[in-house]
Amino acid sequence: MIVANRDWLEPTTLARTVDATLPLGKVYVPDGSYREMTEWVLPPTLHQQYERARDALSASPAAEEAKPFFRAAGYWRNFKARYPESDEMYSRMLMVSRRLEAATTLPDADPDYLEVARLELYRGQCNCPYWHGAFGGLYLPHLRSAIYRSLILADNALDDAEGRLGPRVSLEVGDFNLDARQEVRLENDALIALVRPALGGHLYELDFRPNAVNMLATLERRPESYHRAIMEKIERQKADEPHENGTSNGQDRVILKQEGLDRLMVYDRSPRKALVDHFYPIEVGLDDLAACRDVEKGDFVTGTYLAKAQRDPRRVAVVMERPGHADGHAIRIKKTIELRPGSSALEVLYELSDLPREACLHFAVELNLAAMAGHAPDRYYLDAQGRNLGMLDSRIELELAEGVSLTDEWLDLSVGLTWSKPGGLWCFPIETVSQSEGGFEGVYQSSAVVPHWHVTADESGRWEVRIRMTLASFKPAEAPLHEHAENLAPV
């Protein structure tokens, strides 16, 4: 097109134009985006208020005159406030970026591996998974997993660039998620684990480095402004009311891609991460948890834990403690997360103390595992004896168990969980309702695995349990192939 019109059209660059053109005046361009983006970033309640104001303005005689001045005033960075999962990806990306910047100043750093790390970092900055509008975005698990895959590969390449090879282990403390509080990073040659003592002592990222998978790339179920339109459409369908194309406001199409979306619209009361500490009524059941009923009897779920780091050449650990209340009793939890060189397992020790002698408490540890598909025959649970318990979107309730594993053959990944004291086990899928180009749909996000115990104190008022989380490749080991071989410059 340019060549065909070259008799009157001259290609140029911005810099050349600035140099060759006299300015007409001064202008300051504010932060901005296209209109829909400034709407999508609004919290649901504000978004609905904005829509009502927009519709009222559209019906006004002054609509055309007022339209240039009517803005939602949303700011893109608030996606990171609305969705902590977006903020976690963004913060993780910054960690890699800063590490790469520091590595480029090292005289002995391998330039080929630095270039691999830079390429993977750029891939990890692809914007689509960091926000949510009309096209899925953050709600699509494979997009989040792709971001983490690139960031983990970048970390691996930086290890190679710096010559960090073989079994090793380290622990670092810092504000890794930019919330003005301290987090803890435990790392060895197989795993990277990020822990936030200030929010329940949760494990919020767990990277299996050989497969470049973050097992905690989860997503919390939360209200969205368009959920109201979905419920209105379902209510009309149940009432058998005719409504052309199913619309919520006379303009927007409401297309439901599957039945039963109203049953999926439940909202989480706490983050869907790992090592989330619960106390429940004795009689609570799987249906109560899956429906997010308010059955919590403790204040440990998002409470602040005091933490201290332990380091020596054979192991690193973060030890977290918190006094709190469980079913009306004042108790204390001590939670220790340990990592050793060369190990692909996290060891977690729970020590409960100051327990009441006269009462039985119902203690549970919630672990949400992601990065896998839910409804597929090659993604499944196995019990401790190797028996298949169903696909990863199954509901499972066992009265007595000592462990469970989750396998994704396509990802070549298996996660084994064992605990030292037999207890009950609940497993259930976490599914969200979100919009995409084709309409509204349910999306499998993760599997919640919840071992639980009826706790009675020993003579000293104590009780403890050890939980081991082991990540491994599903397939038999093959001859090693270098992860980045195809990206390296030929010699």
The model's confidence at residue 239, banded by pLDDT at 50, 70 and 90, is: confident
Looking at residue 241, its pLDDT comes to 61
| Residue 474 pLDDT > 90 | no
pLDDT class of 40 with cuts at 50, 70, 90: very high
| Residue 124: pLDDT over 80 | yes
With a cut of 70, say whether residue 356 has pLDDT above it.
yes
350-381 as b/e, with b when 16 or more CB fall inside 10 Å?
bbbbebbeeeebbbbbbbbbbbbbbeeeebbb
Nearest in space to 450 (alpha carbons), one of 396, 370, 414, 407: 396
Q: Which amino acid is at 324?
A: G
Of 126-135, 224-233, 370-379, 389-398, which one has max mean pLDDT? 389-398
* Strand segments (E) across 2-81: none
By percentage, how much of the chain surpasses pLDDT 90? 82
- Res 477: pLDDT: 53
Triad 75, 198, 364: Cα angle to 5°:
110
484, exposed or middle or buried, with CB in 10 Å at 0-12, 13-18, 19+? middle
**What number is the average pLDDT over the span 255-274?**
94
pLDDT digits (tens, 9 = 90+) for 432-471: 999 887 899 999 999 999 999 999 999 999 999 999 999 9
**Taking CA 472 as the corner, what is the angle to CA 468 and CA 478, rounded to the nearest 5 degrees?**
155
Max mean pLDDT range (15-29, 171-185, 241-255): 171-185
- Token pair belonging to 82: 């609305």
Name the DSSP class of 175.
-
Stated as kind and residue range, the H or E segment containing 213 is strand 213-214
For the chain, give the percent of residues with pLDDT over 70: 94
Q: What is the pLDDT of residue 347?
A: 98
Closest to 443 measured CA to CA, from 257, 226, 229, 248: 257
DSSP state of 21: S
- 119 and 483 in contact (C-beta within 8 Å)? no
Q: What was the pLDDT predicted at 248?
A: 41
Is 489:112 a contact under the CB 8 Å cutoff?
Answer: yes
Whole-angstrom distance, CA of residue 63 vs CA of residue 367? 51
The mean pLDDT of the chain is 92
**According to the model, what pLDDT value does residue 13 have?**
94
Q: From its phi and psi, is residue 246 left (phi > 0), alpha (psi between -120 and 50) or beta?
A: left
The predicted structure's pLDDT at residue 45: 93
Evaluate if residue 381 carries a pLDDT over 90: yes
Would the pLDDT of 484 be above 80? no
Residue 475: pLDDT band with limits 50, 70, 90:
confident
Residues 126-155, mean pLDDT to the nearest whole number:
95
Ramachandran region, residue 250 (left: φ > 0; alpha: ψ -120 to 50; beta: rest): left
Closest CA to 85 of 279, 260, 218: 218
Highest mean pLDDT out of 54-63, 112-121, 125-134? 112-121
363-376: average pLDDT: 92
Number of helical (H) and strand (E) elements in the chain, helices listed first: 11, 17
- Nearest CA among 225, 224, 226 for reference residue 256: 226
The angle formed by the CA atoms of residues 164, 168 and 171, to the nearest 5 degrees, is 105
Partner residues linked to 429 by β-bridges: 447
**SS3 state at 425:** strand
Confidence of residue 486 (pLDDT cuts 50, 70, 90): low
